[in-house]
């Protein structure tokens, strides 16, 4: 019996949201924002928090600075019942921060990666991996050292006997350097969205991109927004339409919630069709409240939203 069902391995940062801003900022000038919020950012944190709400025992390996933003990260994860004993505090970098300037439906983001860019293979202790059934790695392009050492990291996870899922997420530099031939054979569940999959394979359609990775991948799950998801396993493709939400609050974190739904079913040994259903359902539930974790305040709230908006039940 392992101590944790899931170890989330990824970036940690706070989000500083500035809303209702009087126009676009200009160099040399100062303007007012009417509204400000500081929250836990990071898509891996949304994944971890929502998987914990769905009943998985989740721990987090990620880097923060020895500063008050690091405390915000730690205490917010704890409120969400994510184990923080494996967070790594460094004194040579500050906790990462994303400043988000919201203008109606559009936004401008600036990210200072800070501590998250330092975590590499030497920081990840095999004893910790051995305590987990499953490891989920995410946002690989946002984490400079982790990106460079990703092959060594996935090999170490497999050597420690855990199953492994990976969500690459966006590459802010848009270089999309990812050696899928070498890495994917070691990944049990690969979970990109369609743009990310096309970008890493340098193909113009999802179909072609899937053909390219097919010889190397185990299970692949492609997230397709309002068109649902595609699971590819044993050479077969299974498309499941989205459980459409007609009055979306916002879709921030829908992909991370999808991962949380899919992987919480996966670690319980559910078949792939049920994992995919729970992935789509968690992604859909995510859109019924603000931000990535708003709809996941408790398992009762998730079950209630699943039933009310989508007529779906959750049994875990």
Name which position in 45, 187, 219, 242 contacts ligand ATP (CB under 6 A): 242
Q: What is the smallest separation between the CB atom of 31 and Mg ion, expressed in angstroms?
A: 31
Rg (CA), the chain: 19
* Inter-residue contact 96 to 113 (CB < 8 Å): yes
Paired residues of 229 in beta bridges: 223, 240
Phi, psi of 292 (to 5 degrees): -80, -20
* Inter-residue contact 276 to 221 (CB < 8 Å): yes
Contacts of 264 by beta carbon, 8 Å cutoff, 6+ apart: 5, 6, 51, 54, 55, 56, 278, 316
Q: What is the smallest separation between the CB atom of 227 and Mg ion, expressed in angstroms?
A: 15
Q: What is the smallest separation between the CB atom of 190 and Mg ion, expressed in angstroms?
A: 13
Name the residue among 296, 285, 206, 302 with its Cα closest to residue 251. Answer: 285
Paired residues of 17 in beta bridges: 37, 100
38-97 positions binding ligand ATP, by CB under 6 A = 43
Name which position in 90, 101, 249, 251 contacts ligand ATP (CB under 6 A): 251
Q: Is 223 in the site for ligand ATP (CB under 6 A)?
A: yes
Q: Which does 214 bind (CB under 5 to 8 A by kind): ligand ATP, Mg ion, none?
A: none
Cβ neighbour number for residue 206 with a 10 Å cutoff: 20
Name which position in 10, 255, 261, 283 contacts Mg ion (CB under 5 A): 255
What span, in angstroms and rounded, lies between the C-alpha atoms of 16 and 100? Answer: 6
Q: Is 256 in the site for ligand ATP (CB under 6 A)?
A: yes
Q: What is the smallest separation between the CB atom of 248 and ligand ATP, expressed in angstroms?
A: 5
Q: What is the smallest separation between the CB atom of 197 and Mg ion, expressed in angstroms?
A: 11
Looking at 54-176, list the stretches that DSSP marks H as alpha helix, in order from N- to C-terminal side: 68-79, 126-130, 144-148, 150-159
Q: Which does 228 bind (CB under 5 to 8 A by kind): Mg ion, ligand ATP, none?
A: ligand ATP
Q: Is 253 in the site for Mg ion (CB under 5 A)?
A: no
Q: Is 193 in the site for ligand ATP (CB under 6 A)?
A: yes
Q: Which does 244 bind (CB under 5 to 8 A by kind): ligand ATP, Mg ion, none?
A: ligand ATP
55-63, 64-72, 202-210, 221-229 -> range binding ligand ATP (CB under 6 A): 221-229
Paired residues of 162 in beta bridges: none
Tell me which residues touch Mg ion (CB under 5 A): 193, 255
- Which residues of this chain interact with ligand ATP, rule CB under 6 A? 43, 193, 223-226, 228-229, 242-245, 248, 251, 253-256, 258, 280, 283-284, 287
């Amino acid at each position: 019996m392992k101590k944790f069902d899931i170890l989330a391995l990824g970036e940690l940062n706070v989000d500083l949201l500035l809303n209702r801003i009087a126009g676009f900022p200009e160099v040399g000038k100062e303007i007012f924002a009417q509204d400000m919020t500081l929250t836990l950012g990071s898509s891996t944190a949304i994944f971890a928090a929502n998987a914990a709400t769905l009943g998985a025992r989740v721990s987090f390996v990620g880097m923060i600075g020895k500063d008050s933003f690091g405390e915000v990260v730690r205490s917010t994860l704890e409120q969400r019942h994510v184990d923080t004993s494996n967070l790594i505090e460094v004194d040579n970098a500050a906790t990462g921060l994303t400043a988000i300037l919201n203008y109606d439906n559009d936004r401008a983001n600036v990210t200072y990666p800070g501590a998250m860019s330092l975590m590499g293979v030497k920081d990840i202790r095999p004893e910790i991996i051995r305590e987990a059934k499953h490891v989920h790695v995410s946002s690989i392009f946002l984490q400079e050292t982790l990106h460079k050492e990703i092959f060594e990291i996935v090999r170490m996870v497999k050597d420690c006997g855990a199953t492994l899922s990976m969500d690459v997420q966006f590459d802010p530099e848009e270089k999309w350097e990812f050696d899928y031939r070498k890495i994917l054979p070691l990944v049990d569940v690969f979970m990109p969205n369609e743009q990310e999959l096309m970008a890493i394979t340098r193909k113009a359609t999802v179909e072609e991109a899937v053909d390219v990775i097919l010889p190397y991948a185990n299970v692949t799950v492609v997230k397709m927004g309002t068109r649902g998801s595609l699971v590819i396993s044993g050479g077969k493709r299974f498309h499941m339409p989205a459980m459409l939400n007609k009055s979306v609050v916002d879709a921030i974190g829908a992909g991370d919630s999808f991962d949380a739904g899919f992987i919480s079913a996966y670690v319980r040994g559910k078949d792939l069709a049920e994992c995919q259903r729970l992935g789509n359902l968690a992604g859909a539930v995510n859109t019924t409240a603000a931000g990535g974790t708003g709809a996941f305040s408790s398992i009762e709230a998730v079950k209630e939203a699943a039933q009310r908006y989508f007529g779906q039940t959750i049994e875990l």
